Chain A
Amino acid sequence: MVRVGILALQGDVAEHRRALADAGAEAVSVRRPADLDGVDGLVLPGGESTTVSMLLDSSGLAAPLTRAVRDGMPMFGTCAGMILLASSADDGRPDQRLLGAIDIRVRRNGYGRQAQSFECDLAVDEIDGGPVHAVFIRAPVVVSAGPGVDVLARLPGPGPGTGAAPVVCRQGHVLVSAFHPELTADRRVHQLFLSMIGARSGTGPGVAALVGG
Protein backbone atom coordinates (compact mmCIF):
# COMPACT_ATOMS: atom_id res chain seq x y z
CA MET A 1 0.00 0.00 0.00
CA VAL A 2 1.20 3.50 -0.80
CA ARG A 3 2.29 5.33 2.33
CA VAL A 4 1.52 9.05 2.28
CA GLY A 5 2.64 11.52 4.93
CA ILE A 6 0.42 14.43 5.93
CA LEU A 7 2.20 17.49 7.27
CA ALA A 8 0.39 17.62 10.63
CA LEU A 9 1.63 20.84 12.21
CA GLN A 10 -1.68 22.69 11.80
CA GLY A 11 -4.75 22.58 9.57
CA ASP A 12 -7.32 20.13 8.23
CA VAL A 13 -5.15 17.06 8.66
CA ALA A 14 -8.03 14.77 9.64
CA GLU A 15 -9.94 15.43 6.41
CA HIS A 16 -6.90 14.55 4.30
CA ARG A 17 -6.38 11.41 6.38
CA ARG A 18 -9.94 10.30 5.65
CA ALA A 19 -9.62 11.19 1.97
CA LEU A 20 -6.35 9.27 1.56
CA ALA A 21 -7.74 6.25 3.40
CA ASP A 22 -10.82 6.27 1.15
CA ALA A 23 -8.58 6.50 -1.90
CA GLY A 24 -6.66 3.42 -0.77
CA ALA A 25 -3.48 4.84 0.77
CA GLU A 26 -1.98 4.53 4.22
CA ALA A 27 -1.78 8.00 5.78
CA VAL A 28 0.74 8.93 8.47
CA SER A 29 1.13 12.22 10.34
CA VAL A 30 4.39 14.12 9.85
CA ARG A 31 5.38 16.38 12.76
CA ARG A 32 9.09 15.63 13.16
CA PRO A 33 11.84 14.82 10.62
CA ALA A 34 11.84 11.11 11.51
CA ASP A 35 8.18 10.89 10.47
CA LEU A 36 9.28 11.36 6.85
CA ASP A 37 11.07 8.01 6.83
CA GLY A 38 9.45 5.59 4.43
CA VAL A 39 6.75 7.87 3.05
CA ASP A 40 6.15 7.73 -0.72
CA GLY A 41 4.58 11.17 -0.94
CA LEU A 42 3.49 14.10 1.20
CA VAL A 43 0.27 16.07 1.55
CA LEU A 44 0.45 19.67 2.76
CA PRO A 45 -3.05 20.42 4.10
CA GLY A 46 -5.09 23.58 4.33
CA GLY A 47 -4.53 25.79 7.33
CA GLU A 48 -2.87 29.11 8.04
CA SER A 49 0.28 29.32 5.94
CA THR A 50 2.04 31.80 8.26
CA THR A 51 1.54 29.44 11.21
CA VAL A 52 2.69 26.34 9.33
CA SER A 53 5.69 28.19 7.93
CA MET A 54 6.82 29.15 11.43
CA LEU A 55 6.27 25.63 12.74
CA LEU A 56 8.29 24.16 9.84
CA ASP A 57 11.33 25.94 11.19
CA SER A 58 10.82 25.16 14.86
CA SER A 59 10.01 21.50 14.29
CA GLY A 60 13.19 20.95 12.27
CA LEU A 61 11.19 19.97 9.17
CA ALA A 62 12.25 22.86 6.92
CA ALA A 63 15.57 21.33 5.82
CA PRO A 64 14.31 17.74 5.35
CA LEU A 65 11.35 19.01 3.32
CA THR A 66 13.59 21.13 1.13
CA ARG A 67 15.68 18.00 0.54
CA ALA A 68 12.56 15.96 -0.18
CA VAL A 69 11.49 18.51 -2.80
CA ARG A 70 14.94 18.31 -4.40
CA ASP A 71 14.84 14.53 -4.36
CA GLY A 72 11.53 14.56 -6.19
CA MET A 73 9.17 13.32 -3.50
CA PRO A 74 5.61 13.65 -4.83
CA MET A 75 3.75 16.41 -2.99
CA PHE A 76 0.17 17.64 -2.96
CA GLY A 77 -0.71 20.98 -1.36
CA THR A 78 -4.19 22.39 -0.83
CA CYS A 79 -4.74 26.10 -0.14
CA ALA A 80 -2.11 26.92 2.52
CA GLY A 81 -0.23 23.83 1.30
CA MET A 82 -0.23 25.31 -2.20
CA ILE A 83 1.30 28.52 -0.84
CA LEU A 84 4.06 26.56 0.92
CA LEU A 85 4.89 24.66 -2.28
CA ALA A 86 4.89 27.80 -4.47
CA SER A 87 8.02 29.50 -5.74
CA SER A 88 6.86 32.96 -4.70
CA ALA A 89 4.04 34.63 -2.78
CA ASP A 90 2.85 38.22 -2.99
CA ASP A 91 2.11 39.88 0.35
CA GLY A 92 3.61 36.98 2.25
CA ARG A 93 5.44 37.73 5.44
CA PRO A 94 9.15 38.41 4.92
CA ASP A 95 10.00 35.39 7.07
CA GLN A 96 7.50 33.13 5.33
CA ARG A 97 9.13 29.93 4.15
CA LEU A 98 8.29 28.71 0.66
CA LEU A 99 9.52 25.34 -0.59
CA GLY A 100 9.60 26.39 -4.25
CA ALA A 101 8.44 22.97 -5.46
CA ILE A 102 6.24 24.36 -8.23
CA ASP A 103 6.82 27.37 -10.45
CA ILE A 104 3.79 29.46 -9.53
CA ARG A 105 3.36 32.87 -7.99
CA VAL A 106 0.48 33.11 -5.52
CA ARG A 107 -1.30 35.84 -3.65
CA ARG A 108 -2.52 34.95 -0.17
CA ASN A 109 -6.24 35.45 0.53
CA GLY A 110 -6.46 36.54 -3.09
CA TYR A 111 -10.24 36.20 -3.21
CA GLY A 112 -10.71 38.25 -0.05
CA ARG A 113 -11.90 37.49 3.46
CA GLN A 114 -14.18 34.72 4.66
CA ALA A 115 -17.16 36.70 3.33
CA GLN A 116 -15.80 35.96 -0.16
CA SER A 117 -15.12 32.26 0.49
CA PHE A 118 -17.25 30.19 -1.89
CA GLU A 119 -18.05 26.82 -3.38
CA CYS A 120 -18.69 25.93 -7.01
CA ASP A 121 -18.40 23.13 -9.55
CA LEU A 122 -15.50 23.07 -11.97
CA ALA A 123 -14.02 20.78 -14.58
CA VAL A 124 -10.55 19.40 -13.90
CA ASP A 125 -8.41 18.06 -16.75
CA GLU A 126 -7.49 14.38 -16.37
CA ILE A 127 -10.38 13.84 -13.98
CA ASP A 128 -13.31 12.15 -15.70
CA GLY A 129 -16.82 11.66 -14.47
CA GLY A 130 -18.10 15.21 -14.32
CA PRO A 131 -17.12 18.37 -12.52
CA VAL A 132 -15.43 18.47 -9.14
CA HIS A 133 -17.20 20.34 -6.37
CA ALA A 134 -14.66 22.86 -5.12
CA VAL A 135 -14.70 24.60 -1.73
CA PHE A 136 -12.54 27.74 -1.54
CA ILE A 137 -11.78 29.06 1.97
CA ARG A 138 -9.93 32.40 2.05
CA ALA A 139 -8.12 30.84 -0.86
CA PRO A 140 -4.88 31.96 -2.49
CA VAL A 141 -4.93 33.09 -6.11
CA VAL A 142 -2.41 31.78 -8.62
CA VAL A 143 -1.17 35.04 -10.12
CA SER A 144 1.08 33.40 -12.70
CA ALA A 145 2.35 29.96 -13.60
CA GLY A 146 5.67 29.17 -15.28
CA PRO A 147 5.98 27.44 -18.68
CA GLY A 148 6.63 24.04 -17.09
CA VAL A 149 3.37 24.08 -15.17
CA ASP A 150 0.22 22.30 -16.37
CA VAL A 151 -2.94 24.12 -15.38
CA LEU A 152 -5.53 21.37 -14.84
CA ALA A 153 -8.42 23.61 -13.81
CA ARG A 154 -9.47 27.22 -13.80
CA LEU A 155 -12.39 28.92 -12.18
CA PRO A 156 -15.39 28.88 -14.48
CA GLY A 157 -15.05 32.62 -14.72
CA PRO A 158 -15.92 35.19 -14.03
CA GLY A 159 -15.07 34.16 -10.50
CA PRO A 160 -15.34 36.59 -7.64
CA GLY A 161 -13.17 39.33 -9.05
CA THR A 162 -10.43 37.16 -10.47
CA GLY A 163 -11.54 35.86 -13.83
CA ALA A 164 -10.27 32.51 -15.02
CA ALA A 165 -7.42 32.06 -12.56
CA PRO A 166 -5.71 28.64 -12.42
CA VAL A 167 -6.88 26.67 -9.40
CA VAL A 168 -5.32 23.22 -9.95
CA CYS A 169 -1.71 23.10 -11.17
CA ARG A 170 0.84 20.35 -11.65
CA GLN A 171 4.53 20.36 -12.38
CA GLY A 172 6.29 17.02 -12.50
CA HIS A 173 5.53 15.25 -9.26
CA VAL A 174 3.94 18.26 -7.52
CA LEU A 175 0.19 18.90 -7.47
CA VAL A 176 -1.47 21.97 -5.95
CA SER A 177 -5.05 23.07 -5.55
CA ALA A 178 -6.39 26.41 -4.35
CA PHE A 179 -9.55 24.69 -3.10
CA HIS A 180 -10.08 21.84 -0.65
CA PRO A 181 -10.96 18.49 -2.25
CA GLU A 182 -10.58 16.99 1.23
CA LEU A 183 -13.70 18.83 2.41
CA THR A 184 -16.03 16.89 0.10
CA ALA A 185 -16.65 13.16 -0.28
CA ASP A 186 -15.28 13.11 -3.86
CA ARG A 187 -11.86 11.39 -3.81
CA ARG A 188 -10.86 11.88 -7.45
CA VAL A 189 -8.29 14.61 -6.83
CA HIS A 190 -6.60 12.52 -4.14
CA GLN A 191 -6.66 9.57 -6.55
CA LEU A 192 -4.94 11.74 -9.14
CA PHE A 193 -2.19 12.44 -6.61
CA LEU A 194 -1.86 8.74 -5.73
CA SER A 195 -1.52 7.95 -9.43
CA MET A 196 1.35 10.47 -9.60
CA ILE A 197 3.06 8.62 -6.74
CA GLY A 198 2.43 5.31 -8.48
CA ALA A 199 3.79 6.59 -11.79
CA ARG A 200 6.96 7.80 -10.09
CA SER A 201 7.71 4.78 -7.92
CA GLY A 202 6.48 2.23 -10.41
CA THR A 203 4.97 0.31 -7.53
CA GLY A 204 1.48 1.73 -7.42
CA PRO A 205 -1.31 1.65 -9.94
CA GLY A 206 -0.81 3.88 -12.97
CA VAL A 207 -2.88 6.79 -14.06
CA ALA A 208 -5.15 4.70 -16.24
CA ALA A 209 -6.06 2.42 -13.36
CA LEU A 210 -7.01 5.19 -10.99
CA VAL A 211 -8.19 8.30 -12.72
CA GLY A 212 -11.83 8.29 -13.56
CA GLY A 213 -12.14 4.79 -12.08
Chain B
Amino acid sequence: MAPAPDTVPATVASPAAGPVAAGSPQTGTFTVKRGLADMLRGGVIMDVVTADQAKVAEDAGAVAVMALERVPADIRAQGGVARMSDPELVEGIQRAVTIPVMAKARIGHFAEAQILQALQVDYVDESEVLTPADEANHIDKWAFGVPFVCGATNLGEALRRIGEGAAMIRSKGEAGTGNIVEAVRHLRAILGDVRKLTQADPAERYAWAKQLGAPLELVREVADTGRLPVPLFCAGGIATPADAALVMQLGAEAVFVGSGIFKSEDPARRARAVVEATAHFTDPDILVKVSRGLGGAMPGLEVATLEQRLAERGW
Protein backbone atom coordinates (compact mmCIF):
# COMPACT_ATOMS: atom_id res chain seq x y z
CA MET B 1 0.00 0.00 0.00
CA ALA B 2 1.30 3.47 -0.85
CA PRO B 3 1.75 6.03 1.92
CA ALA B 4 -1.48 7.87 2.57
CA PRO B 5 -1.78 11.08 0.59
CA ASP B 6 -1.61 14.06 2.82
CA THR B 7 -2.46 17.68 2.15
CA VAL B 8 -1.33 19.03 5.49
CA PRO B 9 1.31 21.78 5.53
CA ALA B 10 4.70 20.68 6.73
CA THR B 11 4.48 22.57 10.01
CA VAL B 12 3.57 19.43 11.88
CA ALA B 13 5.87 16.99 13.60
CA SER B 14 7.73 14.91 11.08
CA PRO B 15 7.86 11.20 11.76
CA ALA B 16 11.47 11.52 12.80
CA ALA B 17 10.84 14.34 15.27
CA GLY B 18 10.30 13.85 18.94
CA PRO B 19 11.13 11.01 21.26
CA VAL B 20 9.89 7.82 19.69
CA ALA B 21 10.58 4.54 21.40
CA ALA B 22 12.75 2.09 19.58
CA GLY B 23 11.15 -0.92 17.98
CA SER B 24 8.35 -1.32 15.54
CA PRO B 25 4.65 -1.40 16.38
CA GLN B 26 3.57 -4.55 18.17
CA THR B 27 0.60 -6.64 17.07
CA GLY B 28 -1.19 -9.44 18.89
CA THR B 29 -0.46 -8.14 22.41
CA PHE B 30 -2.93 -8.69 25.23
CA THR B 31 -3.73 -4.96 25.25
CA VAL B 32 -4.62 -5.13 21.58
CA LYS B 33 -6.67 -8.32 22.05
CA ARG B 34 -8.59 -6.92 25.00
CA GLY B 35 -8.94 -3.58 23.23
CA LEU B 36 -11.21 -5.01 20.55
CA ALA B 37 -13.43 -6.54 23.27
CA ASP B 38 -13.65 -3.07 24.83
CA MET B 39 -14.77 -1.58 21.50
CA LEU B 40 -17.60 -4.12 21.20
CA ARG B 41 -19.11 -3.15 24.55
CA GLY B 42 -22.75 -2.12 24.53
CA GLY B 43 -23.18 -3.90 21.21
CA VAL B 44 -24.73 -7.04 19.76
CA ILE B 45 -22.76 -9.85 18.10
CA MET B 46 -24.95 -11.96 15.85
CA ASP B 47 -24.58 -15.55 14.63
CA VAL B 48 -24.82 -15.73 10.82
CA VAL B 49 -24.56 -18.68 8.44
CA THR B 50 -24.48 -16.85 5.09
CA ALA B 51 -23.08 -13.61 3.67
CA ASP B 52 -26.64 -12.36 3.19
CA GLN B 53 -27.41 -12.86 6.86
CA ALA B 54 -24.17 -11.07 7.72
CA LYS B 55 -25.35 -8.06 5.70
CA VAL B 56 -28.72 -8.11 7.47
CA ALA B 57 -26.86 -8.12 10.79
CA GLU B 58 -24.60 -5.24 9.77
CA ASP B 59 -27.53 -3.23 8.44
CA ALA B 60 -29.31 -3.75 11.75
CA GLY B 61 -26.36 -2.30 13.69
CA ALA B 62 -24.53 -5.44 14.87
CA VAL B 63 -21.03 -4.63 16.18
CA ALA B 64 -19.71 -7.97 14.89
CA VAL B 65 -20.88 -11.24 13.40
CA MET B 66 -20.07 -14.84 14.30
CA ALA B 67 -19.63 -16.88 11.12
CA LEU B 68 -20.75 -20.47 11.44
CA GLU B 69 -22.32 -23.27 9.41
CA ARG B 70 -25.26 -23.99 11.67
CA VAL B 71 -26.78 -21.90 14.42
CA PRO B 72 -26.95 -23.67 17.80
CA ALA B 73 -30.67 -24.45 17.46
CA ASP B 74 -29.91 -26.48 14.31
CA ILE B 75 -26.85 -28.14 15.83
CA ARG B 76 -29.08 -29.20 18.69
CA ALA B 77 -31.84 -30.44 16.38
CA GLN B 78 -29.64 -32.19 13.82
CA GLY B 79 -27.03 -33.67 16.15
CA GLY B 80 -23.73 -35.07 14.88
CA VAL B 81 -20.27 -33.64 15.45
CA ALA B 82 -20.21 -29.85 15.16
CA ARG B 83 -16.92 -28.46 13.84
CA MET B 84 -15.23 -25.26 12.72
CA SER B 85 -16.84 -23.68 9.64
CA ASP B 86 -15.49 -24.14 6.13
CA PRO B 87 -12.93 -21.36 5.41
CA GLU B 88 -14.87 -20.50 2.26
CA LEU B 89 -17.91 -19.62 4.35
CA VAL B 90 -15.82 -17.48 6.70
CA GLU B 91 -14.15 -15.68 3.79
CA GLY B 92 -17.47 -15.02 2.09
CA ILE B 93 -18.76 -13.38 5.24
CA GLN B 94 -15.51 -11.39 5.66
CA ARG B 95 -15.99 -10.03 2.15
CA ALA B 96 -19.63 -9.16 2.78
CA VAL B 97 -19.23 -6.88 5.82
CA THR B 98 -16.90 -4.24 7.25
CA ILE B 99 -17.59 -5.06 10.92
CA PRO B 100 -15.46 -7.61 12.82
CA VAL B 101 -15.98 -11.28 11.94
CA MET B 102 -15.61 -13.97 14.61
CA ALA B 103 -15.62 -17.74 14.19
CA LYS B 104 -15.81 -20.76 16.48
CA ALA B 105 -13.22 -23.44 17.16
CA ARG B 106 -13.88 -26.61 19.16
CA ILE B 107 -12.69 -26.65 22.79
CA GLY B 108 -9.06 -27.74 22.76
CA HIS B 109 -8.83 -27.84 18.97
CA PHE B 110 -5.82 -25.59 18.49
CA ALA B 111 -5.41 -26.61 14.85
CA GLU B 112 -8.85 -25.21 14.04
CA ALA B 113 -7.80 -22.05 15.87
CA GLN B 114 -4.60 -21.89 13.80
CA ILE B 115 -6.68 -22.06 10.63
CA LEU B 116 -9.01 -19.32 11.85
CA GLN B 117 -6.01 -17.17 12.78
CA ALA B 118 -4.57 -17.65 9.31
CA LEU B 119 -7.94 -16.56 7.90
CA GLN B 120 -7.53 -13.38 9.96
CA VAL B 121 -10.82 -13.66 11.76
CA ASP B 122 -11.07 -10.88 14.34
CA TYR B 123 -11.93 -13.13 17.32
CA VAL B 124 -11.94 -16.89 17.88
CA ASP B 125 -14.69 -18.31 20.08
CA GLU B 126 -13.45 -21.49 21.75
CA SER B 127 -16.98 -22.71 22.04
CA GLU B 128 -18.94 -25.38 23.84
CA VAL B 129 -21.53 -25.10 21.05
CA LEU B 130 -19.17 -27.17 18.92
CA THR B 131 -18.25 -30.74 19.91
CA PRO B 132 -15.19 -30.62 22.20
CA ALA B 133 -11.94 -31.97 20.76
CA ASP B 134 -10.08 -32.36 24.05
CA GLU B 135 -11.66 -33.47 27.30
CA ALA B 136 -8.84 -32.25 29.54
CA ASN B 137 -7.29 -29.16 27.98
CA HIS B 138 -8.50 -25.92 26.52
CA ILE B 139 -6.43 -24.15 23.87
CA ASP B 140 -3.28 -22.34 25.08
CA LYS B 141 -4.52 -18.97 23.90
CA TRP B 142 -1.29 -17.15 24.76
CA ALA B 143 0.29 -18.96 21.82
CA PHE B 144 -1.91 -16.97 19.42
CA GLY B 145 -1.98 -13.39 18.13
CA VAL B 146 -5.70 -13.62 17.40
CA PRO B 147 -7.84 -12.85 20.47
CA PHE B 148 -10.10 -15.50 22.03
CA VAL B 149 -13.47 -15.40 23.75
CA CYS B 150 -14.48 -18.31 25.95
CA GLY B 151 -17.67 -19.29 27.73
CA ALA B 152 -17.98 -19.60 31.50
CA THR B 153 -20.67 -20.64 33.96
CA ASN B 154 -18.96 -19.34 37.11
CA LEU B 155 -16.08 -17.15 38.28
CA GLY B 156 -13.57 -19.98 38.59
CA GLU B 157 -14.17 -21.08 35.02
CA ALA B 158 -13.91 -17.49 33.78
CA LEU B 159 -10.58 -16.95 35.54
CA ARG B 160 -9.17 -20.25 34.29
CA ARG B 161 -9.97 -19.21 30.73
CA ILE B 162 -8.38 -15.79 31.29
CA GLY B 163 -5.36 -17.56 32.76
CA GLU B 164 -5.11 -19.49 29.48
CA GLY B 165 -5.16 -16.18 27.58
CA ALA B 166 -8.82 -15.44 26.80
CA ALA B 167 -9.32 -11.68 26.24
CA MET B 168 -13.11 -11.77 26.58
CA ILE B 169 -15.48 -13.92 28.63
CA ARG B 170 -19.09 -14.67 27.83
CA SER B 171 -21.68 -16.54 29.81
CA LYS B 172 -22.40 -19.94 28.29
CA GLY B 173 -26.10 -19.82 28.89
CA GLU B 174 -27.79 -22.68 27.09
CA ALA B 175 -27.27 -22.05 23.39
CA GLY B 176 -30.00 -22.80 20.89
CA THR B 177 -32.84 -22.80 23.41
CA GLY B 178 -34.14 -19.23 23.24
CA ASN B 179 -34.35 -19.60 27.01
CA ILE B 180 -32.52 -16.97 29.04
CA VAL B 181 -32.60 -18.77 32.38
CA GLU B 182 -29.14 -20.35 32.16
CA ALA B 183 -27.44 -17.14 31.02
CA VAL B 184 -28.98 -15.36 33.98
CA ARG B 185 -27.72 -18.09 36.30
CA HIS B 186 -24.19 -17.80 34.90
CA LEU B 187 -24.07 -14.00 35.01
CA ARG B 188 -25.35 -13.95 38.57
CA ALA B 189 -22.85 -16.65 39.58
CA ILE B 190 -19.89 -14.78 38.04
CA LEU B 191 -20.82 -11.27 39.16
CA GLY B 192 -22.09 -12.43 42.55
CA ASP B 193 -18.76 -14.05 43.33
CA VAL B 194 -16.91 -10.96 42.07
CA ARG B 195 -18.89 -8.88 44.58
CA LYS B 196 -18.20 -11.35 47.40
CA LEU B 197 -14.51 -11.55 46.54
CA THR B 198 -14.09 -7.81 46.96
CA GLN B 199 -15.13 -8.29 50.58
CA ALA B 200 -12.52 -10.97 51.27
CA ASP B 201 -9.52 -9.97 53.37
CA PRO B 202 -6.04 -10.66 51.92
CA ALA B 203 -5.67 -13.95 53.82
CA GLU B 204 -8.98 -15.25 52.50
CA ARG B 205 -7.93 -14.77 48.89
CA TYR B 206 -5.82 -17.95 48.99
CA ALA B 207 -8.86 -19.97 49.99
CA TRP B 208 -10.88 -18.26 47.28
CA ALA B 209 -8.25 -19.22 44.69
CA LYS B 210 -8.33 -22.80 45.90
CA GLN B 211 -12.11 -22.97 45.99
CA LEU B 212 -12.46 -21.38 42.55
CA GLY B 213 -9.63 -23.41 41.07
CA ALA B 214 -8.33 -20.15 39.64
CA PRO B 215 -4.89 -18.50 39.42
CA LEU B 216 -4.13 -16.55 42.62
CA GLU B 217 -2.90 -13.49 40.71
CA LEU B 218 -6.23 -13.19 38.89
CA VAL B 219 -8.17 -13.71 42.12
CA ARG B 220 -6.18 -10.85 43.66
CA GLU B 221 -6.85 -8.63 40.65
CA VAL B 222 -10.61 -9.23 40.83
CA ALA B 223 -10.59 -8.61 44.61
CA ASP B 224 -8.73 -5.31 44.12
CA THR B 225 -10.64 -3.97 41.12
CA GLY B 226 -14.12 -5.43 41.68
CA ARG B 227 -14.40 -6.59 38.09
CA LEU B 228 -13.15 -9.28 35.74
CA PRO B 229 -9.79 -8.54 34.11
CA VAL B 230 -11.50 -8.69 30.68
CA PRO B 231 -14.97 -7.66 29.44
CA LEU B 232 -17.88 -9.95 30.37
CA PHE B 233 -20.48 -10.47 27.64
CA CYS B 234 -23.66 -12.51 27.72
CA ALA B 235 -24.46 -15.44 25.41
CA GLY B 236 -26.86 -18.34 25.34
CA GLY B 237 -30.62 -18.01 25.03
CA ILE B 238 -31.23 -14.35 24.14
CA ALA B 239 -34.34 -14.17 21.95
CA THR B 240 -36.00 -10.80 22.63
CA PRO B 241 -35.10 -7.14 23.21
CA ALA B 242 -36.24 -7.60 26.80
CA ASP B 243 -33.78 -10.49 27.23
CA ALA B 244 -30.98 -8.19 26.09
CA ALA B 245 -32.09 -5.44 28.48
CA LEU B 246 -32.30 -7.95 31.34
CA VAL B 247 -28.75 -9.26 30.97
CA MET B 248 -27.31 -5.76 30.41
CA GLN B 249 -28.95 -4.60 33.63
CA LEU B 250 -27.53 -7.65 35.40
CA GLY B 251 -24.05 -6.47 34.40
CA ALA B 252 -23.27 -7.99 31.01
CA GLU B 253 -21.30 -5.53 28.86
CA ALA B 254 -22.58 -6.71 25.46
CA VAL B 255 -24.65 -9.58 24.08
CA PHE B 256 -24.22 -12.44 21.66
CA VAL B 257 -27.39 -13.54 19.91
CA GLY B 258 -27.16 -16.97 18.33
CA SER B 259 -30.30 -18.58 17.02
CA GLY B 260 -32.53 -15.80 18.37
CA ILE B 261 -32.32 -13.56 15.30
CA PHE B 262 -32.41 -15.78 12.24
CA LYS B 263 -34.77 -18.37 13.75
CA SER B 264 -37.38 -15.66 14.33
CA GLU B 265 -40.17 -14.57 12.03
CA ASP B 266 -38.69 -11.19 11.00
CA PRO B 267 -34.90 -11.34 11.50
CA ALA B 268 -34.05 -7.83 10.20
CA ARG B 269 -36.54 -6.17 12.47
CA ARG B 270 -35.72 -8.27 15.51
CA ALA B 271 -31.99 -7.72 14.98
CA ARG B 272 -32.51 -3.97 14.96
CA ALA B 273 -34.74 -4.16 18.03
CA VAL B 274 -32.15 -6.13 20.01
CA VAL B 275 -29.46 -3.59 19.04
CA GLU B 276 -31.61 -0.70 20.27
CA ALA B 277 -32.56 -2.53 23.45
CA THR B 278 -28.89 -3.25 24.21
CA ALA B 279 -27.95 0.41 23.73
CA HIS B 280 -30.91 1.74 25.73
CA PHE B 281 -31.22 -1.09 28.25
CA THR B 282 -32.33 1.16 31.12
CA ASP B 283 -34.91 3.13 29.10
CA PRO B 284 -38.36 1.46 29.36
CA ASP B 285 -39.93 3.84 26.81
CA ILE B 286 -37.51 2.75 24.12
CA LEU B 287 -37.88 -0.91 25.17
CA VAL B 288 -41.64 -0.66 24.67
CA LYS B 289 -41.18 0.91 21.27
CA VAL B 290 -38.72 -1.63 19.94
CA SER B 291 -40.52 -4.66 21.41
CA ARG B 292 -43.84 -3.84 19.77
CA GLY B 293 -45.09 -6.03 16.87
CA LEU B 294 -41.87 -7.91 16.19
CA GLY B 295 -43.56 -11.09 15.02
CA GLY B 296 -42.79 -14.49 16.47
CA ALA B 297 -39.61 -15.09 18.44
CA MET B 298 -37.71 -18.33 17.91
CA PRO B 299 -39.58 -21.28 19.41
CA GLY B 300 -37.97 -21.88 22.79
CA LEU B 301 -36.93 -25.01 24.64
CA GLU B 302 -37.46 -25.82 28.30
CA VAL B 303 -33.99 -26.44 29.76
CA ALA B 304 -35.18 -29.26 32.03
CA THR B 305 -36.22 -31.33 28.99
CA LEU B 306 -32.86 -31.09 27.19
CA GLU B 307 -30.94 -34.28 26.48
CA GLN B 308 -27.66 -32.42 25.97
CA ARG B 309 -26.59 -29.45 28.07
CA LEU B 310 -23.96 -27.59 26.03
CA ALA B 311 -22.94 -25.54 29.07
CA GLU B 312 -21.57 -28.69 30.70
CA ARG B 313 -18.89 -28.91 28.01
CA GLY B 314 -15.63 -27.35 29.15
CA TRP B 315 -14.51 -27.01 32.75
Contact = CB atoms under 8 A, between A and B. Distances in A.
Given A10-B42, A137-B38, A163-B2, 13 more contacts: A10-B41, A10-B278, A59-B280, A79-B39, A93-B98, A114-B32, A114-B100, A115-B27, A115-B146, A119-B25, A121-B20, A156-B20, A162-B4
B230 interface: no
Interface stretch (A65-73, A141-149, A186-194): A141-149
A114 B149 CA distance: 14
A39 interface: no
B305 interface: no
Interface string B96-118: 00111000000000000000010
Interface in B106-140: 117, 120, 122-123
Listed from nearest, the 8 A-B pairs whose CB atoms lie closest are A123-B18, A163-B3, A121-B21, A118-B25, A120-B25, A114-B122, A151-B12, A10-B42
Chain A contact patch, size range: 35 or more
Interface in A164-213: 164-166, 180, 183
A12 B31 contact: no
Nearest to B63: A48
Given A147-B9, A153-B13, A165-B3, A160 B25 contact: yes
Contacts of B13: 123-125, 151-154
Given A10-B279, A152-B13, A155-B15, A145 B8 contact: yes
Nearest to B2: A163
Contacts of A131: 18-21
Contacts of B145: 115
A3 interface: no
B122 A138 contact: yes
B29 interface: yes
B78 interface: no
Contact of B7 (A80, A113, A145, A150): A145
Interface in B33-62: 35-36, 38-43, 58, 60-62
Interface of B: 1-9, 12-21, 23-29, 31-32, 35-36, 38-43, 58, 60-64, 98-100, 117, 120, 122-123, 145-147, 275-276, 278-280, 283, 286
Q: Does more than half of chain B's interface fall in helix, strand or loop, or is it mixed?
A: loop
Contacts of B286: 59
Given A51-B275, A55-B275, A157 B32 contact: no
A12 B39 contact: yes
Contacts of B9: 147
A123 B277 CA distance: 41
Contacts of B17: 123
A136 to B, nearest CB: 8
A11 B32 CA distance: 15
B280 A31 contact: yes
A46 B24 CA distance: 24
Contact of B98 (A10, A109, A155, A165): A109
Contact of B38 (A9, A15, A125, A159): A15
15 contacts: A9-B42, A10-B43, A12-B41, A14-B41, A31-B283, A47-B41, A50-B98, A114-B32, A115-B117, A119-B32, A135-B31, A137-B35, A150-B12, A156-B15, A156-B20
